[in-house]
C-alpha cells in the first residue's frame, strides 16, 4: 500500500484530550505501520517513533472532538468498494467475494470485519455505573476505567434481549449491541431513568465506526502496527489512541471471542486504520461470512437464540452474569433457577448432515427434545452447522439427534459457549 499518513498516539483520558498539533510527513512509513507514541507526562515531553518523528501533544477539551460523519473523500465504504466489496443499500459490507478464504483465516491467520452497522450506545452521567449495574447482569461496580465486560439485557423474568460488549471509560460507558436491538435497548433504558438519576443515553452508531480483528495472528498484527501495548491484557481492557487527531479506542477481545481485538473510531480514521490492518496480511471479511462464523462459533443472536422464549442461563451466558451483586432486573428469576437447579434446556451446537430450517424440531428416538434456532453452511458443500436448544439430560456432547424428521445431527460444544464458566466451575 502507499504511505500511510496516520499517526497513532496515546491520549490519556476518556475522549483523548491530548491531540498532536503536528505530525511530520517528511519520512512517512512505507510498510503501513502506525506511529505509536508514548509519553511519561501529557505535555512538554518529546515522543519516540520507530518510523517517523511526531511533535508534542497539546491539551484540548474532551468535548472538542467532532464525531460527525467524515467528508466524502474519507468515506470508508468507498474505500471498501474500491477493494472489491459488495455493499448493501443499508451500507453493510456483505462480501469481499472471499468468504471461504476469510473463514479459513479465522483458524489460520487473521481477519478484519467492519461491524459499523452494529449498535453503539454511550451511557454518561454521574450515576451511569450504578444504573447499568441495576439494569443488566454484569457487575459494573467492580470495574475501573480501562476495563470492560460482557453483560446481558434481560426482561424482568430473565428472558434474553441481547448481549452487550461494554467498555468502562473515564466519563462514559460504551455499549456495543446487535443492529436489531440498539433502538429497543436505548428506549428500554431511557424508561428506567428516574427524574433524580444523572444518566444520559446517546446512540453514537452513525457517529462512529467499529471493526473487529479475529484469528490466531491478531496479536502479531497489533505488534507490527506498534500497538503491542494491548496484547496480552485481560478481556475487555481498552486503550485510547488517535489517528491524524481522530479518536480510536482499541480493546482486547471482540463480540465473538476473548481473543482478537475491537476498534472503535471516528469515521474519518476508518480508511487509514483499515488499510493499515490489511497491510499486515489480514484478510477482509464481509457480513455474510461473519454470520456463518457466528453460528459456527456459537454466538447467540437476538431473534434467533436470544428471544422471550429462552432465559439467560438456558442461553449458557454464564460469563456475563454476576452471582454476588445486589438486586438487578431478572435477578430474582436467575437466583431461583440456580438455587433450585431449575434449568430445563441448554443451547448447543449441532453438526448436521444437510441443510435445515431454523425453527425445525429436534428429536431423539422420535420424541421432541428441542428446537433448531440457527443454520449455516460451511466452507465445503458437505459442511452444515446449527445452533439449537435441547432439553436438559436429553442429550449432551457427542450424542446423535434428528432435525426436521430426517436430518441427522451430532451435538457439539462450540467455542463461544465452551468458554462460558458455569457456577460449578467458578472459583471463589
**47-70 average pLDDT score:** 32
Assigned C-alpha cell, 213? 480483528
Torsion of CA 372, 375, 379, 383, to 10 degrees: 30
Burial class of residue 427 in the structure, from the number of CB atoms within 10 Å of its CB (0-12 exposed, 13-18 middle, 19+ buried): exposed
Assigned C-alpha cell, 204? 453514537
Residue 160: helix, strand or coil by DSSP?
strand
Give the helix/strand (H/E) hosting 296: helix 287-297
CA nearest 347: which of 421, 413, 266, 292?
A: 413
* pLDDT the model gives residue 28: 34
CA 285, CA 118: separation in Å to the nearest integer? Answer: 15
- The domain ranges of the chain are 8-63+76-116+208-294, 344-415
Q: What is the pLDDT of residues 165-211, one digit of tens each?
A: 999 999 999 999 999 999 999 999 999 999 999 999 999 999 999 99
CATH architecture of 344-415: Beta Barrel (2.40)
Q: What is the pLDDT of residues 222-269, one digit of tens each?
A: 999 999 999 999 999 999 998 878 889 999 999 999 999 999 999 999
HEC readout, 377-407: ECCCCCCEEEEEEEECCCCCCCCEEEECCCE
pTM confidence score = 0.85
CATH architecture of 8-63+76-116+208-294: 2-Layer Sandwich (3.30)
**10-25 average pLDDT score:** 37
CA nearest 257: which of 225, 224, 219?
A: 219
CA 238, CA 259: separation in Å to the nearest integer? Answer: 13
Give the chain's largest Cα–Cα span.
Answer: 75
Amino acid at each position: 500500500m502507499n504511505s500511510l499518513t496516520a499517526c497513532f498516539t496515546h491520549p490519556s483520558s476518556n475522549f483523548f484530550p491530548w491531540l498532536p498539533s503536528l505530525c511530520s510527513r517528511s519520512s512517512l512509513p512505507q510498510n503501513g505501520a502506525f506511529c505509536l507514541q508514548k509519553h511519561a507526562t501529557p505535555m512538554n515531553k518529546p515522543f519516540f517513533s520507530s518510523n517517523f518523528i511526531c511533535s508534542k501533544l497539546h491539551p484540548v477539551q474532551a468535548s472538542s472532538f467532532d464525531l460527525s460523519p467524515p467528508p466524502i473523500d474519507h468515506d470508508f465504504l468507498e474505500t471498501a468498494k474500491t477493494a472489491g466489496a459488495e455493499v448493501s443499500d443499508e451500507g453493510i459490507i456483505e462480501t469481499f467475494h472471499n468468504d471461504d478464504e476469510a473463514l479459513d483465516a479465522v483458524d489460520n491467520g487473521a481477519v478484519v470485519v467492519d461491524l459499523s452497522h452494529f449498535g453503539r450506545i454511550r451511557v454518561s452521567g454521574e450515576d451511569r455505573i450504578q444504573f447499568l449495574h441495576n439494569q443488566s447482569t454484569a457487575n459494573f461496580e467492580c470495574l475501573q476505567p480501562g476495563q470492560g465486560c460482557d453483560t446481558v439485557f434481560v426482561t424482568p423474568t430473565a428472558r434474553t434481549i441481547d448481549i452487550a460488549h461494554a467498555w468502562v471509560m473515564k466519563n462514559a460507558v460504551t455499549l456495543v449491541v446487535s443492529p436489531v436491538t440498539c433502538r429497543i435497548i436505548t428506549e428500554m433504558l431511557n424508561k428506567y431513568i428516574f427524574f433524580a438519576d444523572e444518566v444520559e443515553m446517546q446512540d453514537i452508531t452513525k457517529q462512529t465506526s467499529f471493526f473487529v480483528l479475529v484469528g490466531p495472528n491478531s496479536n502479531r498484527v497489533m505488534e507490527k502496527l506498534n500497538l503491542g501495548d494491548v496484547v496480552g491484557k485481560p478481556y475487555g481492557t481498552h486503550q485510547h489512541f488517535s489517528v491524524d487527531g481522530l479518536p480510536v479506542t482499541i480493546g482486547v477481545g471482540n463480540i465473538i471471542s476473548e481473543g482478537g481485538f475491537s476498534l472503535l473510531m471516528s469515521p474519518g480514521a476508518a480508511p487509514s486504520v483499515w488499510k493499515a490492518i490489511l497491510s499486515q496480511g489480514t484478510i477482509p471479511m464481509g457480513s455474510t461470512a461473519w454470520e456463518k462464523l457466528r453460528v459456527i462459533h456459537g454466538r447467540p443472536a437476538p431473534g434467533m437464540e436470544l428471544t422471550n422464549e429462552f432465559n439467560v442461563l438456558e442461553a449458557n451466558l454464564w460469563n456475563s452474569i454476576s452471582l454476588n451483586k445486589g438486586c438487578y432486573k431478572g435477578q430474582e428469576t436467575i437466583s431461583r433457577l440456580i438455587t433450585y437447579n431449575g434449568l430445563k434446556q441448554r443451547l448447543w451446537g449441532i453438526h448436521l448432515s444437510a441443510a435445515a430450517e431454523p425453527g425445525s424440531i429436534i428429536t431423539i428416538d422420535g420424541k421432541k427434545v428441542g428446537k433448531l434456532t440457527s443454520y449455516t453452511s460451511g466452507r465445503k458443500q458437505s459442511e452444515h452447522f446449527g445452533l439449537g436448544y435441547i432439553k436438559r439430560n436429553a442429550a449432551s456432547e457427542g450424542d446423535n439427534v434428528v432435525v426436521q424428521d430426517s436430518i441427522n445431527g451430532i451435538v457439539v460444544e462450540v467455542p463461544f459457549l465452551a468458554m462460558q464458566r458455569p457456577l460449578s466451575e467458578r472459583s471463589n
